[in-house]
Structure 1
């Protein structure tokens, strides 16, 4: 192998370039490996996980993966040991063609958090391609009149390898007529020619068979051969010649068809037809040239006949023959190098990869959302691309590598304010005028459980009639959660507590999904007037958030208790005062002795009764039964009963005609709908004895008359005051209830179906109370006269469903 001075200079330049490239890569901060082409499957490339500072145990959980713009199956990573190895055959010539530099750019992506590493794997050339000639046989026509030292161009071989593996040396088979001439062109290509060393004699040797061998400088060396068939022609001894052997032309891409590239002019020293020249493309010109150019055979003008694209081909090498019309014709040769100049005719390309969506609203500043790569097929400033982002908040673009950007979070997110963002990435090149492209990125904000369920109001007032059906719906609570999906799915539950001796859950329950509140058992107002409890609303987030609402359930009274007769206060031991019957309308017996000299209007006995209900349902009235109201013989009855007091008084003075034993039936009735009653039997014994009272006084046998009269006056005064107070509060109650009713959510209601009606407490009040309240506040008026156990309650006219 012969290395010329030019070859040594080229090797030094190549070595210097490789050293500069290595220095640049070392300073770039990116991981670099190298691997020879044609390496076997499994060939070790590098410990990529260790070099990137990643633990082997986190490769799988963090979704370690490697991507490449080129063929993605060439290299692979073993996730068990973090080694990068060859996965399939790497052909450098297929991958990079004739480029001196050939690298596979890898993007190593791991998540949780998202990280991106750029790895460059240099593919080193090996001498796996022998020199190849374009044809198996080259024919050379030489006139016998050509003088020694005449040069005849030959088509050299090409080697798909690069570097020293592609540097070729030529050797011609031994002969006495021809030698090989090798020259370097301005484009660093080698031009070979056949040099005539001795005059030819067609009559002696009309044809010469030679072999041309090309050898590269790889290790081991590879060779290629071609057969040269030299045909010796006769006569025309002057061939056309060009002013120079090589012409260089520059033209912009996308030039119009018919544009003249160059006009060639060859000369021939012969005269006549031997000096007439015709121009043509050499027979070895490839189709890529003939498809883009044509030549005028008469003028030598080379014009464009197809679109020139710098990005596809930027250099055309055209071999031109100038042939005279002599017999035989002679040809001159030259080479035209057409260099295509770049124009800014390619719009930048944007590629979005590794979108990490949706983005949680509590994501930290700097969170990587997407990777963006841009490219432009143009060169120079026309291919330099810059990226921008709109809108600017709360995101921004960070340049991570040449033509690589990261879309990162640059502000706080609130899904409840903005659920998604439409971003526009604009890539603009540096051409004049510049071209740009846009890509839309839809960033959805992922919900975080940062909002607790909220009720419309902190407290609700509910009115339910007593004796409701078990399991009836009494109210519906509803809370709204501003979050989404599971974080907004609200579940309702009772805040458990004790109600007396029983648990709250034995009275009411709440449906976990709908928020409907149900009464589990009939409610008894006489036992429980107000049931106050809290309902909790809790979402399904992690951790869950919740809030409470208070429900005040007022139990409305129904007339479900009949008047109950009370025993009289214990007087003298005899005659015995008895009591019989019970709740629900039993009969009671009151026994009393009365002096015959009692005058008209004297109180002689009292019937006492209570009603466990309240309001009108507990307002009692007393009346004598018809059979007891009339005296024997049709005379007017000697006794009457107070309508609201139950006091039995005389209507006239008693006389001897009155029977010694008087039996009265007193009907006690409440004001409910329908009214409930009880009957009391009053037995009076008329006795003679004792001094008659003065005319100005009233004598009552039994309880003291004076104390009774005073207590009765006090009761009437209290009733008047109570009625005025109840009437005053009635309007206020209606206004408050109407406001609560209007603000209550849908679904609120009592158990009783049917049209709404107005339920009012008694304007007079109740003279009775539940047994529990009687125990708390029972007392007497005067001597033996019961005092009302509860004064008139506040009016409550309420709309009940």
Structure 2
């Protein structure tokens, strides 16, 4: 019971402190006040909090409304009413305080705000007076004179004001009356008055009923029994030097510290003057904190005093002599506050993650500071120790807002450890610190960045399709989708339709693939614009140029531009003066190579010459010059077979045939060019057909002669027979190739067997644009026919004084 009483007294003190503090801070922040009686049923309506705060009921869930007194109240999200959530016992909350109020804070978010609410608790008469002792025992000397007063134990009533204890009564009797007295602390106690002298011999024992009545409606009462024993005379009672003793004592003094010493005197002598001291009706909590020396009246501490628990102690002390006389006094001990409590820092609300693009002044946390000390010892200031882009802004009643004070960049710093220090104004000051880690949330504020300003890629031509030719890479310091990069081709100097057939890029890795084999001769270089794009919203991107250089390979043979072939595919001729001196520039072989670089570096070589040593050929220039003068035994018609090689590895080559005729004039060279056709006219065509018929007849005659010779040589020369065996004209048999070479003054034939099933006659006549006279064609003595087989090709070469025929049986 004493412990409950102590807790009630403690809560009374705290609530009183909050109430007074709220009255002082009313001008600082808006307060909502309500008044309710105690012991309301759970769910009872206190008031419409949403209406009084000018909040819409619909937006209450979104505002995330919270109150700090959840044990006593809650807020209905449907109506906005403040409802009773638990038992409200004014005596338990405020104790003996005359005024009782519950003060709490209501916090809302989106936006964040705080409101102060005060609910005054009205007392109802729910506690009847009661006495600590079950009975009161008195010893009154019979010598006591009428008018002597005997203070009695007071009753306790937890209610206050009009519901508190009002009056004491006793049952009617002849010897005693009762009056109600008020002590300095405002409490009422009964005082028994002797109305007439007592006579122990007539009655040595009196029994009275003491009743304590409160002022409630209806009034409540409590009783105890007074047992009075009449003793022999001890006519002087002890007397205290003061009715009330007052003393101040610092909290946290050590155990055994002397508080004060009470003093009572008795005019009697002997045993009747021996005084002993004792606590009168002291609560258990008080008797545990203080010790009273029964002989000396010295009061010392027996425990730790805490101003925050109890600031004033009132002790009743009784002095009793050796007889039956007693005296009473009160000791008021005032506890002086010391700065023994460090401030406390509590986060009422805290944002778990802060976007890095948050505006300056954005509230990210609401902080409450509290110091249990009073006065200057309870005044607290807060500050941040580190250099961080945040600051504290003071609000009403020990509340602070933590707001953004600088630009945030997650890529520069992803989190901050903020230490908030609270310091009071005591002497010496006390402080406490609380650390919190603030995480910076990522936003897509960084575009991808390529690792190179531009890319140049070298790819050899004839690459395999689908091969990787390059890789681009870009980085994005953002997180998650904001930092995930994909690649694409956004522009090119190629035709848009042809771009996809040349290259592609992997969206995930940035690897560039060739979709086809490149040809250096068709496309030597092209440029792409690649884009790296993140997956943020909105997405950010960056572009980079990539130039692809197609390297050359030796995949093109040289092409001879001069000497050019005639319309029928035959080689043309060049004339050389007969008197040409050594070094005379006869002609020049002109060739080109589609490749480039070393692969296109051409060199010229003589493969075959009718008269070796007559001409020289420039290795790099392709110029044909006379090496010596034309001799009498040299043929007027010369043939050079020239090879043109490039510088590749392996080298590629082409050949050109030069027909050179030594003559001083065109008319002189015409007899050697009789096999060249004249310009088309009816007379020339008729003569041509006559020559062809004569040639065919000659060929048939020669074939017959050759066949006879072959039959004779069949047994002696099997190898030669392989060229002229029967079945020469069969489509399924081997083909015969006969070459009549005219590099000597007289003609000779060469035959080579080959297989073919085609029958085709091709006549190649080499002649100048202006054909020779008709009589030259008629008088040509060297017209030969290689064979009469259907599969034959006949070419007439007039590069020498005598015509040589080249025939291939196909």
In the alignment, the residues of structure 2 paired with residue 161 and residue 452 of structure 1 have an alpha-carbon distance, to the nearest angstrom, of 72
Normalization by structure 1: what TM-score?
Answer: 0.73
In the alignment, the residues of structure 1 paired with residue 464 and residue 123 of structure 2 have an alpha-carbon distance, to the nearest angstrom, of 92
> Is the contact between residue 140 and residue 230 of structure 1 (CA under 8 Å) also seen in structure 2?
yes
1:305 aligns with 2:302: yes
Q: 1:333 and 1:94, CA in 2 relative to 1: closer, same or farther beyond 3 A?
A: closer
Per-residue deviation, 1:236: 3.5
> Is the contact between residue 492 and residue 526 of structure 2 (CA under 8 Å) also seen in structure 1?
no
2:647 equivalent in structure 1: 671
Deviations 1:624-656 (A, max 9, x none): 33xx25x5xxx6354554433445555445567
Q: 1:392 and 1:157, CA in 2 relative to 1: closer, same or farther beyond 3 A?
A: farther
> Is the contact between residue 370 and residue 407 of structure 1 (CA under 8 Å) also seen in structure 2?
yes
> What is the aligned counterpart of 2:119 among 118, 121, 126?
121
1:190 equivalent in structure 2: 188
Following superposition of structure 1 onto structure 2, how do residues 347-386 of structure 1 map, counting pairs within 5 Å? 347-386=342-381
Following superposition of structure 1 onto structure 2, how do residues 259-278 of structure 1 map, counting pairs within 5 Å? 259-278=257-276
In the alignment, the residues of structure 2 paired with residue 175 and residue 503 of structure 1 have an alpha-carbon distance, to the nearest angstrom, of 128
Per-residue deviation, 1:53: 3.0
> What is the aligned counterpart of 2:144 among 126, 143, 146?
146
> Is the contact between residue 661 and residue 683 of structure 1 (CA under 8 Å) also seen in structure 2?
no
Following superposition of structure 1 onto structure 2, how do residues 80-229 of structure 1 map, counting pairs within 5 Å? 80-229=78-227
**What RMSD in Å do the two structures reach over aligned CA positions?**
3.6
> Is the contact between residue 377 and residue 426 of structure 2 (CA under 8 Å) also seen in structure 1?
yes
In the alignment, the residues of structure 2 paired with residue 602 and residue 39 of structure 1 have an alpha-carbon distance, to the nearest angstrom, of 135
Range that drifts further, 194-203 or 481-490 = 481-490
> What is the aligned counterpart of 1:290 among 287, 291, 316?
287
Deviations 1:554-578 (A, max 9, x none): 222222333344585476x6xx444
Deviations 1:742-796 (A, max 9, x none): xxxxxxxxxxxxxxxxxxxxxxxxxxxxxxxxxxxxxxxxxxxxxxxxxxxxxxx
Q: For 1:59, what is the secondary structure of its paired residue?
A: helix
> Is the contact between residue 562 and residue 588 of structure 2 (CA under 8 Å) also seen in structure 1?
no
1:539 aligns with 2:520: no
Per-residue deviation, 1:267: 1.8
> Is the contact between residue 30 and residue 116 of structure 2 (CA under 8 Å) also seen in structure 1?
no
1:553 aligns with 2:553: no
Following superposition of structure 1 onto structure 2, how do residues 643-654 of structure 1 map, counting pairs within 5 Å? 643-648=619-624, 650-653=626-629
Q: For 2:155, what is the secondary structure of its paired residue?
A: coil
In the alignment, the residues of structure 1 paired with residue 496 and residue 535 of structure 2 have an alpha-carbon distance, to the nearest angstrom, of 33
Per-residue deviation, 1:618: 1.6
In the alignment, the residues of structure 2 paired with residue 22 and residue 433 of structure 1 have an alpha-carbon distance, to the nearest angstrom, of 29
1:684 aligns with 2:665: no
1:246 aligns with 2:227: no
> Is the contact between residue 19 and residue 101 of structure 2 (CA under 8 Å) also seen in structure 1?
no
In the alignment, the residues of structure 1 paired with residue 562 and residue 58 of structure 2 have an alpha-carbon distance, to the nearest angstrom, of 90
1:76 equivalent in structure 2: 74
2:432 equivalent in structure 1: 437
> What is the aligned counterpart of 1:317 among 306, 314, 317?
314
> Is the contact between residue 577 and residue 591 of structure 1 (CA under 8 Å) also seen in structure 2?
no
1:465 equivalent in structure 2: 460
Q: For 2:401, what is the secondary structure of its paired residue?
A: strand
1:790 equivalent in structure 2: none
In the alignment, the residues of structure 2 paired with residue 218 and residue 557 of structure 1 have an alpha-carbon distance, to the nearest angstrom, of 115
Deviations 1:65-101 (A, max 9, x none): 3131x5x243222223333222233333333333444
Range that drifts further, 270-279 or 125-134 = 125-134
1:613 equivalent in structure 2: 595
In the alignment, the residues of structure 1 paired with residue 329 and residue 509 of structure 2 have an alpha-carbon distance, to the nearest angstrom, of 93
Q: 1:421 and 1:592, CA in 2 relative to 1: closer, same or farther beyond 3 A?
A: same
Per-residue deviation, 1:418: 5.3
Q: 1:688 and 1:288, CA in 2 relative to 1: closer, same or farther beyond 3 A?
A: closer
2:800 equivalent in structure 1: none
> Is the contact between residue 560 and residue 656 of structure 2 (CA under 8 Å) also seen in structure 1?
no
Q: 1:276 and 1:111, CA in 2 relative to 1: closer, same or farther beyond 3 A?
A: closer
How many residue pairs get matched?
652
> Is the contact between residue 466 and residue 558 of structure 1 (CA under 8 Å) also seen in structure 2?
yes
In the alignment, the residues of structure 1 paired with residue 522 and residue 212 of structure 2 have an alpha-carbon distance, to the nearest angstrom, of 117
1:797 equivalent in structure 2: none
1:495 equivalent in structure 2: 490
Q: For 1:354, what is the secondary structure of its paired residue?
A: strand
In the alignment, the residues of structure 1 paired with residue 251 and residue 402 of structure 2 have an alpha-carbon distance, to the nearest angstrom, of 36
Per-residue deviation, 1:237: 4.0
1:623 equivalent in structure 2: 605
In the alignment, the residues of structure 2 paired with residue 560 and residue 639 of structure 1 have an alpha-carbon distance, to the nearest angstrom, of 32
Per-residue deviation, 1:614: 0.9
Deviations 1:333-371 (A, max 9, x none): 322222222222222222222122433343333322221
Per-residue deviation, 1:671: 0.9
Normalization by structure 2: what TM-score?
Answer: 0.72
1:774 equivalent in structure 2: none
Q: 1:513 and 1:57, CA in 2 relative to 1: closer, same or farther beyond 3 A?
A: farther
Q: For 2:504, what is the secondary structure of its paired residue?
A: strand
Per-residue deviation, 1:444: 4.1
Q: 1:33 and 1:553, CA in 2 relative to 1: closer, same or farther beyond 3 A?
A: farther
Q: For 1:31, what is the secondary structure of its paired residue?
A: strand
> Is the contact between residue 74 and residue 90 of structure 1 (CA under 8 Å) also seen in structure 2?
yes
Q: 1:229 and 1:518, CA in 2 relative to 1: closer, same or farther beyond 3 A?
A: farther
Per-residue deviation, 1:489: 3.7
> Is the contact between residue 530 and residue 544 of structure 2 (CA under 8 Å) also seen in structure 1?
yes
In the alignment, the residues of structure 2 paired with residue 270 and residue 206 of structure 1 have an alpha-carbon distance, to the nearest angstrom, of 23
Deviations 1:472-495 (A, max 9, x none): 443333334455554444333221
Per-residue deviation, 1:202: 3.7
In the alignment, the residues of structure 1 paired with residue 627 and residue 500 of structure 2 have an alpha-carbon distance, to the nearest angstrom, of 58
> Is the contact between residue 316 and residue 337 of structure 1 (CA under 8 Å) also seen in structure 2?
yes
In the alignment, the residues of structure 2 paired with residue 215 and residue 491 of structure 1 have an alpha-carbon distance, to the nearest angstrom, of 89
In the alignment, the residues of structure 1 paired with residue 147 and residue 319 of structure 2 have an alpha-carbon distance, to the nearest angstrom, of 20
2:396 equivalent in structure 1: 401
1:279 equivalent in structure 2: 277
